[in-house]
Amino acid sequence: MANDIGEAFESQRAIMGHMLAFADSMALKCAVELGLADIIHVHNAPMTLSQIAATIIDHSPSSTPNMDNLKRIMRYLVNMKIFTSTVGIGGETLYGPTPLSKWISNDFELGVAPLILFNDHALQQAGLHFLAECVKNGGDAFTMAHGCDTWTFASKNALYNKLFNKGMSCMQYLAIAIIDQYEGLKTVGSLVNVGGGTGQFLAGIIEKQPHIKGINFDLPHVIAMAPELPGVIHVSGDMFESIPSGEAIMLKWIMHDWPEKECIQILKKCRQAIPKNGKVVIIDIVLQPKEDGLYCPIGLKMDMLMLGHTGGKERTEDEFKTILNEGGFSSYKITHAAAPMCIIEAYPH
């Protein structure tokens, strides 16, 4: 009986942990909004709570930090291993950086602070409350929450558009690190980056491979925010209508935004835009079961986000094979990059 009670409580604790997992992302969002990582890294030495609060006031003079609330936030972030805590000579707790904290710093070039602010914003989270409705009746969760799909909403809502583009831009450094492992662009004379955002990713490629003529292609409201970048030509349009011609087409984190029907439409437009010896280069997650049959947690979490945010999905290799074949690409090669990300090089029929 005692063992049964112990197992029951252990199971309950596990469910409670899953239920409250959102607290992690909200604590990260709070840390970014307060600039806690920036404050501690710039100080270059462990800080007391009072020193952190004073710097918050320096950055936001109208604020009056609540010390108890700040203490609770810091305690939570220490428990997440975002910061360290030690006891100083006078008995005060001192907070210091960790290898994780730099990633939420606004000053770290490779950091993900803008992505945290985007993904954890109420506008982006709203669709996740409609997952059950998606199961019962199908449909797009984001549209259920906002009355239109992600892309239409971004064209109408300036705040969301700004959050989206900044969030995606901060991921360009990871994407460039991934593409650096790929040698398939050395002989490509022209590259069209479809859904390329404001163009930083393509600019990063051309900086290292200046022989490439780069075309950054995205929706008009995105291109309107795109800065002038060396070697990059910005073109606005709709990938479901036509795609600029090039020797190769790049689809970075595009396929996972869409259901099968739309993916096949996009691939057919890509096929029309490249020569017979051209190719499409896809950067996306490829879901792969491990020996125990389970999948990489990051891949599955991203799959849930796509269900709630865009109506798209993360795919297995077999699922990619199906849409590629129906989209006009009979063969492909997968290069495993930063797990669970992969580069898929697809060749036309």
Rounded CA separation 100/94 (Å): 17
3-class DSSP state of 232: strand
Quick check: is 349 catalytic?
no
Residues 6+ apart with CB under 8 A from 36: 52, 73, 74, 77, 83, 104
Query: What are 285's strand-pairing partners?
Result: 341
Listed in order, strand segments (DSSP E) in the chain are 83-87, 93-97, 190-194, 213-218, 232-236, 248-252, 279-287, 315-316, 329-336, 341-348
3-class DSSP state of 250: strand
Catalytic-role residue among 146, 256, 309, 336: 256
Rounded CA separation 119/153 (Å): 15
Q: Could you report how far apart the first and last alpha carbons of the chain are, in Å?
A: 65
Cα angle vertex 123, ends 67, 147, to 5°?
A: 155
3-class DSSP state of 331: strand
Q: Are 265 and 296 in contact (CB under 8 A)?
A: no
The catalytic residues are 256
